[in-house]
Structure 1
Amino acid sequence: MTTVFISHNHKDNIYIQQIKSIRQNPNHPLTFEDRSLAEAICNEHGHTNRRPPSDIRSEPVRKAIAKLLAGSHKLLVLVGKDTHSRLWVEWEIEQFKKHNSDNNILVMRTPDNTYSGAPKGVQRLELYAWDLNRIALWVS
């Protein structure tokens, strides 16, 4: 089964839930193993790391995500209204591209985004409108 890492701004979690719920429908062709980070990585105080990837204190998060990306066949980049400025999304794209080609990356707008552009690293790739069937075809 194809493994997919979904890179996104956490403000767009509702769309991640849509993708995950449609995968549970046996009548829909969208099937893949989700390699995305299941839960936030917390610091020693139990707080979610909100530091940029360049911060030394983000090393545990970088290691966990890098391992997931290295084991992923494909990268789905969801582009919401603010994704273009998300340092973590840019970092994830960069890390994925160390092991994979652009052919394994799908860049797709969230349904509420009709104007924002793609983040650095995938700007020259086609930016598709929201379409779960397109994701299913791309994964297969």
Structure 2
Amino acid sequence: MARLKAVFHYAASAGIAQRLAAAESDWLSIETCDENDDERLFKLMADADVLWHVLKPATAEVIAAAPKLRLIQKIGVGVNTIDLDAARARDIPVCNMPGTNSQAVAEATVMLMLSALRRAATFHDATRQGDGWRMDPAIFDRIGE
């Protein structure tokens, strides 16, 4: 049986590279390609079945360079960096991973709410300009601290 070839197009950390290597099997081969190495990407895409895409756009040229391509899997929530028309023209399914970043989004939301409430950016700028922490009474909490 021929091995399915997946190309992971991202600067894989040592931990991610180790997990990808562990996922290889008698039916799956995984190649990693740094996002800034276009030459390697086009070489790998020549016989790729699956593109695991993260950030750098999966352009019409990348898709055209992969005659065997059967799936584009976005490792993330959006598909705005994938040329959907090029994929559709070749009947290549495009998948994403909605909700996988919900915890990070919730954490960032709470951080931004607290930063706005306590005027973190205002005090950061004032401190950098040498004005220190002259507090406006508007930032005191209900017990005056």
Same fold by TM-score, threshold 0.5 exceeded? no
Please indicate the TM-score interval, normalised by the length of the shorter structure: 0.3 to 0.5
Give the TM-score normalised by structure 2: 0.43
Give the TM-score normalised by structure 1: 0.44
Please identify the structure whose Cα radius of gyration is greater: 2
Bigger relative CO (Cα 8 Å, ≥ 6 apart): 1
